[in-house]
Amino acid sequence: MNTLNRMSNSIALLLITFMFFCSPLFAGTVQQIKNGKVLLSLEGTPAQAGDQFFTVDENNKKNALIQITAVKADRAVGKIIKGTPLQNNTILAKGANPVAAAPKEATFIRHDLTKLSFNLEYSMDLISTLQQDDTNPTPLKETVDMKGSNIGLNVALGFPLGKNFSVQGFAGYEMLKVTGTALRLVCEGKTTRDCNANISYLTVGALARFNYAADHFEFWVGSGVGFKQPLSKKSTALTLENISLGNTLIVALGVDYHLSNTKFIPISFEYHKSFNESETVPIISHMGLQVGFGILY
């Protein structure tokens, strides 16, 4: 229960962080109007001096035409050519359709760029082992559940395959520390009830993703495979010689929040189904929540 509470608190913290980054508006907007000029917050909208934009109200009605005179960082100054813009109006490039441009998916999120992201993972792990004591003449058997929450790091590289599909590879470092208490003396040579495993892994893998973009959000689902090579291993419940290369099936879903044309925040949830389960280790479960920072290039 404590593990579940810790993971719930961490998920809540990550979601609060995500909402903080998502707080900017989803389109360039009119911030100030004075003496025939407007101050714009571009919010990632490409613009340069001389470009012309319509201002659009909440009903997607054009109410003014402005021309950009200066751009600095993510802000721009423009002069009013005609019409009467209002504060918080969105901006629309001249010649574009305001109805089609409302989601801004086609122009804001690039589908032809490689994605590189650096991610932190918080995971909840479960390993069940079949143990037996030294009762004579017939040893007593029991299944011991070992649980724990862990931290991992990885780097992911995504390659586009058109607008809605992509392939993502990853490599990283993962820790697995789980503990459990048996009913009998079954662990560490049948001398203790305290069962545990402490393993560190080098991980690599790949996912095939289906992506759907709307506004600054790119939602996705995917599946793939992962490989985990032990770097260090200690355990009172598992035979160390049997801890070798791990193979997993990965099912994942997530969202990439695009801060701009070149930066995004990836958030994802993954479930790993191990191919290394056996009669003596019937369950190896890994669920992870990841958040990171990424660039497109």
Answer with the residue of higher pLDDT: 20 or 119.
119
pLDDT for 19 equals 47
Mean pLDDT of 137-142: 91
pLDDT for 109 equals 72
Owner of token pair 């070798």: 244
For residues 16 and 33, state if they share a domain. no
pLDDT for 247 equals 95
Domain boundary among 103, 125, 153: 103
Q: For 35-67, b where at least 16 C-beta lie within 10 A, e where not — what string?
A: eeebebbbbbbebeeebebbbbeeeeebebbbe
Domain boundary among 65, 85, 103: 103
Instruction: Identify the H or E element spanning 179.
Output: strand 165-181
Owner of token pair 């992870």: 288
For residues 154 and 98, state if they share a domain. no
For residues 160 and 215, state if they share a domain. yes
Other beta carbons within 10 angstroms of residue 266's beta carbon come to 22
Q: How confident is the model at residue 95 (pLDDT cuts 50, 70, 90)?
A: low
CA atoms of 288 and 152, how far apart (whole Å): 9
Owner of token pair 């890994």: 286
Least-confidence region, from 16-30, 133-147, 229-243: 16-30
Owner of token pair 């780097």: 155
Count of domains for the chain? 2
CATH of the domain at 194: 2.40.160.20
pLDDT for 128 equals 95
Give the torsion through C-alpha atoms of 84, 90, 93, 95, to 10 deg: -70
For residues 17 and 153, state if they share a domain. yes
Mean pLDDT of 9-13: 54
For residues 291 and 151, state if they share a domain. yes
pLDDT for 102 equals 44
pLDDT for 97 equals 56
Q: Given a cut of 50, is residue 135 above it in pLDDT?
A: yes
Task: HSE, CB side, 13 Å, CA atoms: give it for residue 124.
Answer: 14
CATH of the domain at 88: 2.40.10.170
For residues 278 and 166, state if they share a domain. yes
142: containing domain? 2-21+111-296
Q: Given a cut of 90, is residue 27 above it in pLDDT?
A: no
CA atoms of 252 and 273, how far apart (whole Å): 11
